[in-house]
Structure 1
Amino acid sequence: MPNQITHNGSKTTPRPHDLLWITGVEGLATDQLLPTWATAEWLAVAPVVIRRETVTDCAWLPVGLRGTTRSERFKALLSVDAIKRCVQPEFLVQTEAWNIHSQCGAFPAVKTLASMASSLTNIGLHWGPTGSVGFALATGLPVLRDESDLDIVLHAPSPISPEKMSLLQDLLDSQMCRIDLQIDTGSGGFAFAEWAAGRKTILLKTGNGPVLTADPWSESHQLDTHRLP
């Protein structure tokens, strides 16, 4: 995703799962009307999330709008000029956001996050919560349920060593909450569970669509994958 935004006085390249607060609905472009829940009042406090999609026009970013329930999701494009603030998942770990928004601490997914945070950080890879947990910890908005999963993104620009793979698997196996750990290679994302299961090919989500690959870190997926419809 080549598009850049100015954040804290410097240029940064937004990544999938980053949360963006926007100036208003006028900064969004869609091919249909916004859903009724996506009001100007809601979007004044609720960030949009970067989606994994390639957009050729550097003035726009692919984003997803989310409401208070799982069914309230909507795709759009966002003008980079409409961005007020950017929060990356790693920032929620650095600030221990689960202690800031204490009202979230009663939910099993947040309890799990707090209990495993130090161990996951000690593995030595950048990571952070995404999905409903990340959204709630970044905003304090009431989007969590007792049955909410814990979604985590872990950034690994190079292959993960067998030792770290084993540590990750042991850590996930020791948790009571369902955890969806996504590995982001910088050019795509895949489910850790698929890789750990030893499958010959795994589904890699890229900005140009999903591919099946034997090596998610390969520079050219043309050699060892076939693109899905």
Structure 2
Amino acid sequence: MNAPRPHDLLFARDAGAFTCAGARPDWFDAGAPLVVRRQATPPGIVAVGARGLHRNERCPGHVALDAVASILTPRMLAHRAHAADADFPCIAALRALAPRLDALDVDWGPAGGAGYWLACGLPVLRATSDLDLLVRLPRRPAAATLAALAGLRDGQPCRIDIQVDTGAGGFALAEYVRGGGVLLKTDAGPRLVADPWEPA
């Protein structure tokens, strides 16, 4: 099993595998996936978060890697959108954007609510839901690629939020294309950097 990365979704082998920071909330669903989050952890431990059906239902915690039954990456979830039986605007946008993203030859996929819904089918989406896209770019891409990614947000039936993961951290593409400093989310916390591919 490959090491989980931020935004991957994990399914635990049993209900007790997830250790919540604080009391386990009433809405916790042991059969639902856990979202990998950014935080430094000891070897063999993965920082994850549980989510419920509503935006205010979130619980950070941890799971042992050997208690993980399966991993779904955003890229794997991208392939599920074509067969998804739903008319949410965010899923329609995902289907429409898939060929353009594939043509850019980047590692991409849905994250956030759309990715979660595609992974487990729980009713977390609304007609007003945004589409969160994750693009993994471990090396600085060509300026034309970044421009093409930024242009994906235009003319869509919902708001599009594109997060870029460099491997060292993640940042919002919209913030980067505006110029100036970028808030890079890392395992050690957020950092304001001039260049997310050269954070040092």
- TM-score per shorter chain, which class? over 0.9
Q: Quick check: 1:101–1:140 contact (8 Å CA) kept in 2?
A: no
User: Which position in structure 2 is the counterpart of 1:62?
Assistant: 47
Q: How many residues align?
A: 200
Instruction: Please tell me the residue identity of whatever aligns with 2:95.
Output: A
How big is the shift at 1:172?
A: 1.7
Q: 1:154 to 1:31 in 2, by over 3 A?
A: closer
How many angstroms apart in 2 are the aligned matches of 1:73 and 1:181? Answer: 21
**Could you say what the CA RMSD is over the residues aligned between the two structures, in angstroms?**
1.2
Work out whether 1:147 is the aligned partner of 2:137: no
SS of 2:152's partner is helix
Structure 1 segment 64-143 matched on structure 2, within 5 A: 64-93=49-78, 95=79, 97-102=80-85, 105-143=86-124
How many angstroms apart in 2 are the aligned matches of 1:171 and 1:181? Answer: 9
Work out whether 1:47 is the aligned partner of 2:33: yes
Which of 24, 34, 54 matches 2:24? 34
How big is the shift at 1:108?
A: 0.6
| Structure 1 stretches lacking a partner, 5+ long | 1-6, 222-229
How big is the shift at 1:101?
A: 2.8
Provide Cα deviations, 1:43-70, integer angstroms capped at 9, x if missing partner: 12x1001001111x11211000011111
How many angstroms apart in 1 are the aligned matches of 2:8 and 2:141? Answer: 23
Give the alignment's TM-score, normalised by structure 2.
0.95
User: Which position in structure 2 is the counterpart of 1:202?
Assistant: 182
Q: Which is greater in Rg?
A: 1
How many angstroms apart in 1 are the aligned matches of 2:138 and 2:36? Answer: 19
| Structure 2 stretches lacking a partner, 5+ long | none
Q: Quick check: 1:27–1:81 contact (8 Å CA) kept in 2?
A: no
SS of 1:187's partner is coil
The alignment-based identity, stated in percent, is: 39
Higher relative contact order (CA 8 A, sep 6+): 2
